[in-house]
Amino acid sequence: MRNTNLIDDLTVLLAAEVAVGEWDMPPSMALLTEGKSGPVSAVPVEFIPAMWEMGRVPDVLGFVAHILTTRDAPSLPAEIPEGQEVVGIALFTESWALVLDGATEEEREEAEAFCANHSVADHPLGAESKTLVAIAVDGGRYAICQTRGNDIPIWMEAGDDAVVGGAVPHALQAVLDAALRN
């Protein structure tokens, strides 16, 4: 993926997901494609919505990666637009996040202590969020999070300075690797 405008491209994709996909939707996945001169675009990977109810998102992604490594596995997706190449994969998912912009260290510690025993959704600073996690073919990891009713991302991580880790990016990498082998 081109790093020069990648964050802009991913931000547009997340905004489109929020606008078109609306809220309160199951996770969705897309292959990221790019032509020689165009922006990154998303080619949806279709799954039955009930698949996401099988377990935690990383577990479902692990299952998808496993299925893609079996003989006669389906392609993800069946067709890539002409003139485009796969440059990555993206997962759009919803969760709750604490919006701590401008919070003092004491307020941050109180929020952390509260969330150790309660749901983030129950905290006064809890907000629904939609997150886009993208894994690039070149190994780059990107994440953008947007809260409901807020037009600007609350955090972004990208490129060499990113610390986009954890079970979801790891499982998404496995799906990308399996899809590229397929």
Q: What is the distance between the alpha carbons of residues 84 and 110, in angstroms, rounded to a whole number?
A: 48
pLDDT band at 69 (very low <50, low <70, confident <90, very high): confident
pLDDT at 16: 64
pLDDT at residue 152 tops 70? no
Question: What pLDDT digit, counting tens, does each position of 70-94 carry?
Answer: 877 666 666 777 888 888 888 888 8
Residue 172 is predicted with a pLDDT of 92
Residue scoring higher pLDDT (30 or 162) = 30
10 Å CB burial of residue 2 (0-12, 13-18, 19+) is: exposed
Q: Provide the mean pLDDT of the chain.
A: 78
Per-residue pLDDT band at 114 (split at 50, 70, 90): very high
C-alpha 85/C-alpha 3 separation (Å) is: 16
Position 159 confidence tier, pLDDT thresholds 50, 70, 90: low
Q: Kindly report the three-state secondary structure assignment for every residue of the chain.
A: CCCCCHHHHHHHHHHHHHHHHCCCCCCEEEEEEECCCCCCEEEEECCCHHHHHHCCHHHHHHHHHHHHCCCCCCCCCCCCCCCCEEEEEEEEEEEEEECCCCCCHHHHHHHHHHHHHCCHHHCCCEEEEEEEEEEECCCCEEEEEEECCCCCEEEEECHHHCCCCCHHHHHHHHHHHHHHHC
pLDDT at res. 1: 47
For 4, half-sphere exposure in the C-beta direction (CA atoms, 13 angstrom radius) is 3
Question: Model-level pTM greater than 0.85?
Answer: no
Q: Please, are residues 89 and 64 in contact by the beta-carbon 8 Å criterion?
A: no
Q: Which of 28-42, 68-82, 94-108 has the lowest mean pLDDT?
A: 68-82
In the predicted model, what is the mean pLDDT of residues 114-135? Answer: 87
Residue listed under structure tokens 């003139």: 83
